[in-house]
């Protein structure tokens, strides 16, 4: 299945735009802890509440736990949000969780180095409407009854984005999983210089969701909601967002386009969905200069990304001086992923994670949270996230056990150099 380029006109998200499709049967909120989805189910639970107000601090790990932790993660697989044969399926997060278990990267094997947040609150309506229009949020909640009665809902004008009877509820849980990690990482940063890194293993993804509605598989802008939450609740004024998904994070881009306190940096495949993220999209008004978009030519790979990190990301972050770094971690740039044409490898993602962790340590006390975005080949997705965990733990990469250098071809070095020089000129790097 391929994504289709959409016009950037603002869609309307009333009831008339929710189209009834296939009947959804057997909605489940459990996944399996083994390779088969028919045995050993593992359930993911979070209290269901969309009320506004302060979040429950009792869900933050204790000081003793935080002191030893190197990675804190949360899991929200949205098992009821699923369409048969859709690439953004409910198999994605369970595949990652299974890989972490098999590769002994969970607290069961790593002890106090790794914390899984077992309990967290959903994001409140106020959390979500710090980014999204209240009319969209309330409209989506209202049409859930229609999904219960008639089946899948398709959102006109939003790309191939669907909703089921559990989508609203599960999307608030996914966003809440990210906010809980912000709470935990910030708490840890108050007791140690090098805070543990957070990773939200969540879906639906979020970086395409625009303030007015869903788009491109995404319901709510998880990273954007976390950025506003970090500012509002924790007083972390300056937020640096790195988006390494193969597709441009247009929703995050739009949410902060005029905001000087949020720096959004995306590098993505040129010409890919949704057709936004051009060099000259740099922000507007007071926010001019705090949006950086670097479209990379097809075929770009590990060498390209190392150069981008050293010559673009590092100087931007150093100049911006962030209080926290948030990462839209999309794994669909992998050479095996079906929805794009880049040549990232599992080793590329290890390098990115290790470098981002060091950047956060150097600039903002280690405060950093990753949010799962894309990645649709389950094997490359799970192996790459696992190697990301190794990087965050300080373990050596095992990418060589998965990556096959024989399938790679020469990167378009001349086009890459031209793109990097152009963006450095635009942003005076």
Query: Which run of H or of E encompasses 340?
Result: none
For the question of residue 208 being annotated catalytic, the response is yes
* Residues contacting 307, CB < 8 A, separation 6+: 416, 420
Active-site residue identified among 81, 132, 207, 208: 208
DSSP letter at 333 equals T
Contact 44, 246 (CB under 8 A): no
Rounded CA separation 269/278 (Å): 11
Q: How far apart are CA 324 and CA 178, in angstroms?
A: 14
Q: How far apart are CA 177 and CA 151, in angstroms?
A: 27
The count of other CB atoms within 10 Å of the CB of residue 201 is: 24
Cross-strand pairs, 292: 265
Nearest C-alpha neighbor of 381 from the set 89, 61, 29: 89
Nearest to 343 by CA among 352, 351, 333, 353: 333
Q: Are 90 and 162 in contact (CB under 8 A)?
A: no
Instruction: Say if residues 243 and 386 touch (Cβ distance below 8 Å).
Output: no
Decide: helix, strand or coil at residue 150. Answer: helix
Q: Which residue has the tokens 């189910």?
A: 41
Tell me how far the alpha carbon of residue 409 is from its chain's centroid: 28
> Residue 136: enclosing H or E segment and its boundaries?
helix 134-142
The runs of H, that is alpha helices, within 248-301 are 250-255
- For the chain, how long is the longest CA-to-CA vector? 56
Cβ contact 178:226 at 8 Å: yes
Distance between CA 139 and CA 38 in Å, rounded? 35
Residue numbers annotated as active site: 208
């Amino acid at each position: 299945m391929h994504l289709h380029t959409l016009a950037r006109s603002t869609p309307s998200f009333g009831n008339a735009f929710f189209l009834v499709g296939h009947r959804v049967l057997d909605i489940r909120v459990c996944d399996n802890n083994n390779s088969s989805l028919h045995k050993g189910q593992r359930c993911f639970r979070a209290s269901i509440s969309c009320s506004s107000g302060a979040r429950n601090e009792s869900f933050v790990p204790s000081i003793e736990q935080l002191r030893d932790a190197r990675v804190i993660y949360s899991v929200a697989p949205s098992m009821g949000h699923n369409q048969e044969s859709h690439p953004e399926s409910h198999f994605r997060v369970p595949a990652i969780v299974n890989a972490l278990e098999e590769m002994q990267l969970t607290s069961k094997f790593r002890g106090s180095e790794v914390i899984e947040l077992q309990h967290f609150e959903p994001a409140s309506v106020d959390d979500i409407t710090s980014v999204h229009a209240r009319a969209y949020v309330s409209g989506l909640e209202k049409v859930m009854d229609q999904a219960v009665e008639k089946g899948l809902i398709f959102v006109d004008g939003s790309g191939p984005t669907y909703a089921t009877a559990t989508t609203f509820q599960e999307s608030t849980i996914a966003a809440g999983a990210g906010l809980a990690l912000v709470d935990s990482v910030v708490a840890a940063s108050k007791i140690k210089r090098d805070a543990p890194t957070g990773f939200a293993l969540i879906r639906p993804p979020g970086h395409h969701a625009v303030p007015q509605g869903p788009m491109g598989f995404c319901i709510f802008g998880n990273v954007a909601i976390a950025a506003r939450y970090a500012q509002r609740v924790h007083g972390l004024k300056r937020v640096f967002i790195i988006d390494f998904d193969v597709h441009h994070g247009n929703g995050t881009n739009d949410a902060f386009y005029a905001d000087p306190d949020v720096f959004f940096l995306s590098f993505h495949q040129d010409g890919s969905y949704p057709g936004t993220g051009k060099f000259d999209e740099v922000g507007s008004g007071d926010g001019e200069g705090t949006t950086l978009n670097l479209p990379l030519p097809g075929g770009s790979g590990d060498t390209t990304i190392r150069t981008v990190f050293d010559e673009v990301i590092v100087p931007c972050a150093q100049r911006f001086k962030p209080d926290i770094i948030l990462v839209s971690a999309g794994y669909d740039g992998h050479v095996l992923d079906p929805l794009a044409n880049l040549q990232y490898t599992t080793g590329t993602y290890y390098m990115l994670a290790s470098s981002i962790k060091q950047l956060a340590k150097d600039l903002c006390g280690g405060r950093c949270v990753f949010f799962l975005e894309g990645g649709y080949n389950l094997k490359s997705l799970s192996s790459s996230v696992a190697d990301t965990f190794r990087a965050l733990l300080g373990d050596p990469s095992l990418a060589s056990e998965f990556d096959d250098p024989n399938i790679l071809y020469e990167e378009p070095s001349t086009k890459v150099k031209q793109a990097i020089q152009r963006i450095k000129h635009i942003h005076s790097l």
